[in-house]
Amino acid sequence: MELPTYFADFLKDIRPTLNQREEMKTGHTTLRDRLRAHDSLKEIYVSDFLQGSYRRSTAVRPKDGNRSDVDVVVVTNMSEAEYTPQQAMDKFVPFLIDHYKDKWKFQGRSIGIELSYVDLDLVVTSAPSEAEVEKLTSKSVRYGGDIEAEPDWVLSEFWLPSSERNVYMDEAVRKGTLNPWKLDPLRIPDREAEEWDNTHPLEQLSFTVGKNKACNGHFVNIVKALKWWKRINTDLPKYPKGYPIEHLIGDCCPDSCTSVASGVTETLEEIERKYKEYADSKTVPFLSDHGVPLHNVFHRITGEDFQAFHAEVEKAADTARNALDEQDKQKSVAEWRKLFGTKFPEARSGGGSGGSGGSSGDTKSGGYTERTRQGSIGEGSFA
């Protein structure tokens, strides 16, 4: 059974809390304001924007006392011919000492800032082409919300947040007539490899927005649900995790999903089918990064880890299919709880078979009691 209100409650309990979302917003807004104002950066600063699961609405709630995290990209005019990756990061040391003393550290491809309430990743880029500077300073790039807040976001010169549009602009956004931009990848420093590397977070975001529309708004919630499955499954290897998992889900999730339940089930089944031969031979598939086609997002994963991951996907696919096809509400809920753990709500007393279709497990039919509390899958601007 699809059990939409059960999934709504489940998603509400695995997305960051309202307080955590406010902390993430405070953390990134303060960092971005400080970047724009600091004297030592005025000669190199071009723009900044958000990337990562926070921006894509695919973040799940931290566990075991961990903090939420937000990624901020700062676009600079530093030339790769003049700055090594380390020298580029060093340009931010005066800023970091002034605002985040004893709270920051260099990482391989970013600068980590650890606050008491949120972790921030500051990603530095080299200079973009002159033709793209204006695009990178547009409101569509610098917008600070997420997909659930503005599901019609598009990378375009004319896009504005809904609160700033007039009726004609709102109609153009809804009709999709804003002529989206295509940008080149940005270049970020890799200190360990001592080289600059391509990245395209805005293309990743564009893919997620498009996929979410194709999936009737369910895609970002399917990602959250499967990230939670990955997090609580102790039999899974450490890798793949994070964005590689999200990318894999995007490649395998069918368009026109009717629900989160069906999307989760069909995505797991497609991963199992599509990559079985890779897993059997301990071969890692090549998943071409959005906007950087020569970059394999699975490049850090071993064949052994992929085989172990695929084996758990097979088990999860069977469990999800049993849960989706089961017509007894209590039995269906029990199967979903096997997959997602105790965050998935328990069935209310009363039992009953329920009919077919998404609402059968959530209405007063088949002899069981209607749920008295319903969550909202789209709740929160910063999921």
Q: How many of the other CB atoms lie within 10 Å of CB of 130?
A: 8
> 184-212 burial, b for 16+ CB within 10 Å, e for fewer?
ebbbbbebeeeebeebbbbbbbbbbbebb
Q: Is 34 exposed, middle or buried (CB count within 10 Å of its CB: 0-12, 13-18, 19+)?
A: middle
Sheet holding 45-51, edge to edge: 45-51, 68-76, 118-125, 111-114, 104-106
CA 224 from chain center: how many Å?
8
Residue 380 contacts residue 18 (beta carbons within 8 Å): yes
Which bin fits 190, alpha (ψ -120 to 50), beta or left (φ > 0)?
Answer: beta
Q: Annotated active-site positions, please?
A: 69, 71, 121
What tokens appear for 292 in the block?
């950087």
Q: Which amino acid is it at 44?
A: I
Please give the sequence-ordered ranges of beta strands (E in DSSP) within the chain, or none if there are none: 45-51, 68-76, 104-106, 111-114, 118-125, 186-190, 195-199, 288-289, 292-296
What tokens appear for 161 in the block?
């947040």
Residue 352 contacts residue 367 (beta carbons within 8 Å): yes
Contacts of 52 (CB under 8 A, 6+ apart): 59, 69, 70, 71, 121, 201, 243
Residue 56 contacts residue 204 (beta carbons within 8 Å): yes
Beta-bridge mates of residue 296 = 288
Return the percent helix, strand and coil in the chain, to nearest 5. Answer: 45, 15, 45
Q: What are phi and psi of 97, to 5 degrees?
A: -65, -40
